[in-house]
Every structure is written in C-alpha cells, then in structure tokens.
Structure 1
Amino acid sequence: MNKTELIAAIAEDTNLSKADAGRAFDSALEQLSRALVRGETVQLIGFGTFSVADRAERTGRNPSTGEQITIKASKSAKFAAGKALKDAINQVG
C-alpha cells in the first residue's frame, strides 16, 4: 500500500474527501516528525511507539576497497510495534 492508497482508504472510512484526508494524514506525519526531532517519544496505544535512538560511532568497511572507515555517531528513528498490532499480524495466515 502506498501513500495515495492509504489516503483513499482513510477517505472512504471517514467519509472525508481525498483532499481532506490527505491534509489530515500529512499533518499527522508532520506532527510525528516534529515530536521526534524534539527528542520526544510518540506512543500510539494499540499500534506502537516511535522514538529516537542514539547510534554510537563505530568502525565499518568500505565495501569496494575493504578499507576501514569510521562511521559517525548519529540518531535514528525507531519503531516498536505494540501488542495489539503484533497480535493482529500473527492472526493472519
């Protein structure tokens, strides 16, 4: 499912126009992104938790030359599925 299909499904479920559903979806993603940029955790009960994880500096290898390189410390977005989502996924099939 891509973004357009997801927005169409939201519009159908909520009786909103696709344009209104698209604006609501974009706003939700923007608010989620802003919270993560601020270092906050976003918990959606029944779905999962979005958070920011710190990655330490580490040593890696350049795949084409085999040369050792240092990979800088960074932050990344992390998602942990909630129990209800895990249960729903495991019910399928």
Structure 2
Amino acid sequence: MSLNKSELVSAIAAKAEISKADAESAINALQDVLIESLGKGEAVKLTGLLSVERVERAARTGRNPRTGEEIAIPAGYGVKISAGSLLKKAVSA
C-alpha cells in the first residue's frame, strides 16, 4: 500500500485541520525547497524524521547488460535519503 500525492494532501489537511488547498501549497513548497537546496548542494534535515543530501558519484565503467559491452559512466550526483529515529521506530513496531 502506498499514499499518492492527493491522498497525502487529504491526510495532512485532516491532521492539521487546514484546507486541502493549504496542505497542497505546503507540500509544493516543501518540494520546491528540497529541489533548490539540493541543487545548491545543501542537505535538508528534519530531525527525527529524515535527512536528504546530494552525494557525488565518481566516474566508473559499467556494462551494457544486453550486449556485455563496457560503457563509460560519467561522474555525477545522486540523492541520499536517510530515515530518522522516528521513522525507524515507526516501521520496527
């Protein structure tokens, strides 16, 4: 089971006792802040919940699974998401 964006908006609106429009605006703002911060190389940490950071990936050699041909994979960036203590506790119970 998973929660899609509209279900998340509804759940946040009910929990915070705000309108769905306000909840959606808050989620969109969080998304914008995450994108902007990670784009600048800044980590975003919600203590106890999660942390999100940009990580560098070194250039490496990969292999095309279909042909077995080696390919050069350039250096780049990825995103690392780490669960905080509250999330870890919620899933272990």
**What's the TM-score bracket when you normalise by the shorter of the two chains?**
over 0.9
Counterpart residue identity of residue 23, structure 1: S
**Number of residue pairs aligned between Structure 1 and Structure 2:** 91
- TM-score with structure 1 length normalisation? 0.93
Percent identical across equivalent pairs? 44
**Distance (whole Å) between structure 2 residues aligned to residue 78 and residue 53 of structure 1:** 7
Counterpart residue identity of residue 7, structure 1: V
1:62 to 54, 61, 64: 64
**Distance (whole Å) between structure 2 residues aligned to residue 47 and residue 68 of structure 1:** 40
Deviation at 1:47, TM superposition (A): 0.4
- 2:23 match: 21
Deviation at 1:33, TM superposition (A): 1.2
Summarize deviations over 1:16-59 as a string: whole Å, max 9, x none.
Answer: 11111111110111111111111001110110111011000111
1:35-74 alignment runs, 5 A limit: 35-74=37-76
Counterpart residue identity of residue 89, structure 2: D
- 1:85 match: 87
Runs of 4+ in 1 over 6 A off after TM superposition: none
- TM-score with structure 2 length normalisation? 0.93
CA RMSD of aligned residues (A): 0.9
SS at 2:45 equivalent: strand
Structure 2's unaligned 5+ residue stretches are none
**Distance (whole Å) between structure 1 residues aligned to residue 17 and residue 85 of structure 2:** 29
1:30 to 29, 32, 46: 32
